[in-house]
Structure 1
């Protein structure tokens, strides 16, 4: 029996309208509409044509109802610049990643969520409270992906085709999820992770999590979380030149632009010095890239350990993909750029863990 909502989700994952799927699968528009609403059920041969058109295994459409990511609870980056179709596609991809998480959660003991919901404190205070709760002091933040995972956040990547979606975060049944764009510089990836943490902490499902105001708050949270005021004030001189900023940004593993913004926010740069520094950094290529930045993106420790453990037991990624009803390519896109060891084996070892150790027990 076909589950109607799975047809809808697969279609949105591919960014297709009903009309586009109708043309590609050779199924009438009215029939597809009836299938998605559950008014009628397709024959198996028809489902096979739909599955082929959407590049999903036939078994996917015969699975149970999916626990989709809540549309109203997602914090989108640059929402005004991104089409609704792209956002629907990214949300559908996130739902598939959550399906993978459910599969993993049944077989491994993952860290319990430890992300506080702090109501409406100012971002600077919120960042300090989370740092204190996580025993970080004022030291530069460690690997942000590891840090989120150690505190129960499920971190996945956005598929490469969603390059115009920076990142997003969402609570799903009490579990926090963060989805990161892995096509950006490593420093901007760290900032995105801290930004989404800010949304999780300050903008729960019962509070406004999108819009310019919420984005500014999450940006300010990320800035304060990655670059504690006392740390920046202790390292950076007032009126620092661009070369000093570029040299110092590696202390906090942030972009030169982010450090410049933080210094202005803390009163270390005047308005004129801030604008001048931004102009010079832009002229040097620091607006869109990070020359001479971190060599590697921060990667997932949980996903790396999970697939290493599965491989040791003879379970290949293809078998995992088949069990959750997606293609191997779909599975890889969930992990793109987040595992240092490829899911098929070989390669590098995972980076060192943050202070709070992870526990994965099969």
Structure 2
């Protein structure tokens, strides 16, 4: 049966208005509205093919069960105030597609179960220490943050929108935590975004987006989680210069700006000196281009999944076909997280072994 909500989802993923889609597909705006609201329940194949052609989605996508819903209130966006409605809806749509992809993977693989303590009663600094203690990592640096998250049951995906207004977001679905990252920034800033979203998952898991002080709390959590105070003071008791900060930032895998701010918050540098460092960073362009960037982190889980699927002759194109999705949606969600050269041809389905 035709599913009007999936037509709306595809349109929002392509960031098209109803008027845009109607004009490009050669149908009237009234017809499209009737389709999306469910008034028209049996559109002609000609109409569906026209819509599918513009949206670059398979016609079969417009049929079948609803995807799990993801609302603005259920997602913690880093930059909700700067996003357009179209950007927000596209990002939420990516989340819905990720839920469907996760179900497909869960039916074939045994992924790590979520292991996130409920820290809604903790302040940011205490929460950072608590989760480090819960995970048994003490105060040492975390060289592979995404791998740690995956090992603790967080499903990590990326967003196709390479736009500074859509940084990252997180959410829970069916008891599983998700983090969506926009990897157009440096690895250091992406790591901070990921830690920021972990803070939301731990401290604000059932609080609507826009929670008072929520973004500041998540930023404070991220800094404390990535740069524990004891380790910071032990390895950088004083800040001699901007060059000194650049040399030291590699230990914690953070941006020079984040390290400077954390040092200031921990009273390792004066207010005057911090302002001077900020001026230097701005003049040198370090707000947009990170000095001595580290290599982007990759997913361990997705690499293993794709390698095991390929051994059974199954590719990303096959996954897309199973889910009635265009291949670019799969690539957008996991492509930047893997660096293996796995072919994308479609092959006959084979039963998979289970990952333990």
- TM-score w.r.t. the length of structure 1 is 0.92
Q: Deviations over 1:26-68 (max 9, x none)?
A: 1111111111111112112211111111110111111211112
Q: C-alpha distance in 1, partners of 2:354/2:220?
A: 33
Tell me which stretches of 4 or more aligned residues in structure 1 moved more than 4 Å. Answer: none
**Partner residue of 1:107?**
108
Q: Deviations over 1:277-336 (max 9, x none)?
A: 111122222111212120x21111111111111001111221111011111122111113
**Partner residue of 1:261?**
261
Q: Any stretches of 5+ residues in structure 2 without a counterpart? A: 345-352
Q: C-alpha distance in 1, partners of 2:100/2:72?
A: 16
Q: Does 1:248 align with 2:248?
A: yes
**Partner residue of 1:213?**
213
Q: Does 1:32 align with 2:32?
A: yes
Q: Classify the secondary structure of the residue corresponding to 2:213.
A: helix
Q: Classify the secondary structure of the residue corresponding to 1:305.
A: helix
CA contact 1:111–1:151 (8 Å) conserved in 2: yes
CA contact 2:72–2:209 (8 Å) conserved in 1: no
Q: C-alpha distance in 2, partners of 1:29/1:239?
A: 61
Closer, same or farther: CA 143–320 of 1 in aligned 2, 3 Å: same
CA contact 2:192–2:222 (8 Å) conserved in 1: yes
CA contact 2:154–2:177 (8 Å) conserved in 1: yes
Q: 1:96: Cα distance to partner?
A: 1.1
Q: C-alpha distance in 1, partners of 2:69/2:16?
A: 18
Q: 1:211: Cα distance to partner?
A: 5.3
**Partner residue of 1:170?**
171
- TM-score w.r.t. the length of structure 2 is 0.94
Q: Classify the secondary structure of the residue corresponding to 1:179.
A: strand
Closer, same or farther: CA 253–169 of 1 in aligned 2, 3 Å: same
Q: Which moved more, 1:241-250 or 1:331-340?
A: 331-340
Q: C-alpha distance in 1, partners of 2:280/2:354?
A: 47
**Partner residue of 2:188?**
187
Q: Classify the secondary structure of the residue corresponding to 1:298.
A: coil
- Report matched runs for 1:175-324 at 5 Å: 175-205=176-206, 207-210=207-210, 213-294=213-294, 296-324=295-323
Q: Deviations over 1:144-174 (max 9, x none)?
A: 1111111111000000444431100011111
- The root-mean-square deviation of aligned C-alpha atoms, in Å, is 1.6
Q: C-alpha distance in 1, partners of 2:240/2:230?
A: 16
**Partner residue of 1:82?**
83
CA contact 2:13–2:89 (8 Å) conserved in 1: yes
CA contact 1:131–1:225 (8 Å) conserved in 2: yes
CA contact 1:141–1:225 (8 Å) conserved in 2: no
